[in-house]
Amino acid sequence: MGFGLNVVLHDVVYRAAFSAAVPMQSRWRLLRRLGWEGIERCNIRDGCLIVGFDLTMVDSYLNRQVLIDASAPVHVGSRVQFGQRSSIITSTHEIGAHAMRGGTPRTAPVTVGDGCWIGAGAMILPGVTVAPGCIIAAGAVVADDTEPDYIYAGIPARKIRALT
């Protein structure tokens, strides 16, 4: 099989794995066979996108169109829920010169602790640790580490109140 056909075949299999044709309760098993060995017992809706293979995630839920950039290690604790179109980003660029501001690429790991709820459209940026039990409000952009059992909202995300 030629290189071009191999790439096309991989693309077709990848698209099928994240399509509505695969039940969300069994998608994790298919993804493990395709190389995501760190995924276990997860419900993953169709339309999600996982880039890179450095992902560990157990007993969690990804709603539609969740993006996980696993270019650097991503660790998602157990019983974490992700709302639609939420994202974890591990890659960025240094600020470059005037001619091209997107300079040297860099990556940083992301950790999401047990029991968190990541709201729809929320974004977790490179190098961030979301502490266990946090709620990240819809649309929030988390640029700094959080403390356990708080609600965070806004751009950038700020501590709103403690959870009991």
As annotated, the active-site residues are 93
Contact (Cβ atoms closer than 8 angstroms) between residue 136 and residue 121: no
Does a cis peptide bond (omega within 30 degrees of 0) precede residue 23?
no
Cβ atoms of residues 116 and 122 within 8 Å: no
Q: Which residues contact 106 (CB under 8 A, 6 or more apart)?
A: 91, 92, 93, 94, 126
β-strands 158-162, 150-153: how paired?
A: antiparallel
Q: Which of 30, 77, 33, 36 is nearest to 54 (CA)?
A: 36
